[in-house]
Amino acid sequence: MLLAGFWFAFLALPISGPWNAVLIGGACSFMLLAIKLFQTAMTTGPAGEMVARLWCALGRMWGQAAWLVGDRKKILVMILLLLSLPWVLDRYTTDVLVVTGIYVMLALGLNVVVGFAGLLDLGYVAFYAVGAYTYALLNSWMDLSFWPALLAGGALSMAFGVLLGIPVLRLRGDYLAIVTLGFGEIIRLVLNNWDNLTNGPNGILSIDRPTIGGMRLYQPMHFFYLVVFLCFMTMFVVGRLNRSRLGRAWSALREDETAAECMGINITYTKLTAFAFGAAWAGIGGVVFAAKQTFVSPESFTFFESVIILCMVVLGGMGSIPGVILGALVLTVLPEALRELTLYRPMLLGGAMVLMMILRPQGFLQMHGQRLPASAVLPGDVRRGREKTHLGGDT
């Protein structure tokens, strides 16, 4: 351990200078120790047993919480609590929750692509940008109001999703990831440089707020309800898609593309619908974002944003809707809560990514396989999916 500390200090020396290097060396060896202890605790001995059981219980609780057939009354109470939040919280916190809500939508959308269909999309932010700029441009050119823009943004993003999907149909794994990254960057660069269309780095200002029956929505509280509504819509649609023939096709595609094709699944269609639906939600989120900020610029749509959304999906537990929501919550609220550490945000996130992968490649939660509409399930015969226990290092 000490040697490791020296090694890291050595590495840090030319970048951080001698004093900091020592600190870094110490911090690193401490962390390595902690990780080693954590790993051994998770896999051996009575403490490990307890921890593992606790872990699984938590996972099971969360997975079954209010989602599928939970206690109806409890769900209602939770929803009411949720809806009453803006009255008890201050404007700032409500605003944070609005941003969280938008990210929940984005994460759920990306979850369709990455979690359900297993297509690694590193350029997801491009669809977000398309949605935002669609509203911004249509609003400044022809005064298009918010609600039709929602449709337009979603539809245009969907189209872009299909456009992205077509060339990458034959790509898998790493290559697919890089190409999608390329697409994301292309969109950002185009937005940044096509001054005549998009006003370049200056962005587009004075975007209209949404109105409902004459009332203008401008307070964080208004947006809160809007976003909560949209989130529930997203969860509803995504949930239904997941537990359908198409959802099964997506999962089969993710598990084993060749075998899936041999089952009669049209891979092209399955991939394109995944991209399309994933993109649609990003587009809708983008429109909301534009309306909330009243201003869009290419700065908001960087590769780092794509990475954050990806982390929400992956670290939250791929394919699992509650997990993804949790991921979005954590990754939006935590940085806000730890504002002094904004400078270190990418480092912390990057480190977390590496750590999570090493400690638990599947993310915190695991998908409970229930891709059948509840009413189609036959009584008696079918038992609910059992979570497989995974400790520390995986297969």
Partner 1 sequence: MSGFLECRGLIRRFGGVVALDALDFEVRPGEILSLIGPNGAGKTTAFNVITGIFLPTGGDVQFAKRSIVGLKSDAITRLGIARTFQNIRIFGAMTVLENVMVGRHGKLRAGPVGAILRTPGVMNEERAAAEFSMELMRFSGIDLNAGARADSLSYGDQRRLEITRALASEPQIILLDEPAAGMNPREKNDLNDLIFAIRESGVTVLLIEHDMKVVMGISDRVIVIDHGVKIAEGTPAEVCQDAKVLEAYLGASHA
Partner 2 sequence: MFTQQLVNGIVVGSVYALIALGYTLVYGILKLINFAHGEIYMIGAYIGITTLAVLGAMGITGMSITLTLVLVFLIPMIYCAAYGITLERIAYRPLRRAPRLSPLISAIGMSIFLQNYVQVAQGARDKAFPSLLALGGFNFMGAYISGLQIFILATAVGVMAVLQLFIQKTRMGKAMRATAQDRTMASLVGVDVNRVIAATFAIGSALAAIAGVMVGMYYGLVNHYIGFIAGIKAFTAAVLGGIGSVAGALLGGFLLAMLETFWAGYVSAIYKDVFAFAVLVVVLIFRPEGILGSSDSSDRV
| Shortest Å, Cβ 366 to partner 1 | 8
What does 343 bind: partner 2, partner 1, none (CB cut-off 5 to 8 Å by kind)?
A: partner 2
Nearest CB to partner 1, comparing residues 25 and 278: 278
| Shortest Å, Cβ 237 to partner 1 | 5
What does 271 bind: partner 1, partner 2, none (CB cut-off 5 to 8 Å by kind)?
A: none
Q: Residue 272, interface with partner 2 (CB under 8 A)? A: no
Q: Residue 23, interface with partner 2 (CB under 8 A)? A: no
| Shortest Å, Cβ 169 to partner 2 | 9
Q: How many residues sit close enough to partner 2 to count as binding (CB under 8 A)?
A: 54
Q: What is the 3-state secondary structure (H, E, C) of the chain?
A: CHHHHHHHHHHHHHHHHHHHHHHHHHHHHHHHHHHHHHHHHHHCHHHHHHHHHHHHHHHHHHHHCCCCCCCHHHHHHHHHHHHHHHHHCCHHHHHHHHHHHHHHHHHHHHHHHHHHCCCCCCCCHHHHHHHHHHHHHHHHHHCCCHHHHHHHHHHHHHHHHHHHHCCCCCCCHHHHHHHHHHHHHHHHHHHHHCHHHHCHHHCECCCCCCEECCEECCCHHHHHHHHHHHHHHHHHHHHHHHCCHHHHHHHHHHHCHHHHHHCCCCHHHHHHHHHHHHHHHHHHHHHHHHHHHCCECHHHCCHHHHHHHHHHHHHHHCCCHHHHHHHHHHHHHHHHHCHHHHHHHHHHHHHHHHHHHHHCCCCCCCCCCCCCCHHHCCCCCCCCCCCCCCCCCCC
Scan residues 144-203 and list those touching partner 1 (CB under 8 A). Answer: none
Scan residues 229-268 and list those touching partner 1 (CB under 8 A). Answer: 237, 240-241, 243-249, 251-252, 255-256, 258-267
Q: Residue 14, interface with partner 2 (CB under 8 A)? A: yes
**111 contacts 319 by C-beta, under 8 angstroms:** yes
Q: Residue 388, interface with partner 1 (CB under 8 A)? A: yes
Q: Which stretch binds partner 2 (CB under 8 A): 85-93, 178-186, 221-229, 326-334?
A: 178-186
Scan residues 281-340 and list those touching partner 2 (CB under 8 A). Answer: 303-304, 307, 310, 314
Cβ-proximal residues to 286 (8 Å cutoff; 6+ apart), any chain: 127, 128, 129, 130, 131, 132, 133, 134, 135, 153, 157
What span, in angstroms and rounded, lies between the C-alpha atoms of 113 and 276? Answer: 9
What does 386 bind: partner 1, partner 2, none (CB cut-off 5 to 8 Å by kind)?
A: partner 1
Report the residue from 1, 10, 377, 384 that binds partner 2 according to the rule CB under 8 A: 10
Q: Residue 385, interface with partner 1 (CB under 8 A)? A: yes
| Shortest Å, Cβ 371 to partner 2 | 20
| Shortest Å, Cβ 387 to partner 1 | 8
Report the residue from 3, 88, 142, 376 that binds partner 1 according to the rule CB under 8 A: 376
Nearest CB to partner 1, comparing residues 54 and 259: 259
Interface residues with partner 1 (CB under 8 A) are 237, 240-241, 243-249, 251-252, 255-256, 258-267, 273, 277, 319, 367, 369-373, 375-378, 381-386, 388
Residues that bind partner 2 (CB under 8 A): 7-8, 10-12, 14-17, 20, 120, 122, 167-168, 170-171, 173-175, 177-179, 181-183, 185-186, 189-190, 193, 258, 303-304, 307, 310, 314, 343-347, 349-354, 356-358, 361, 393-395
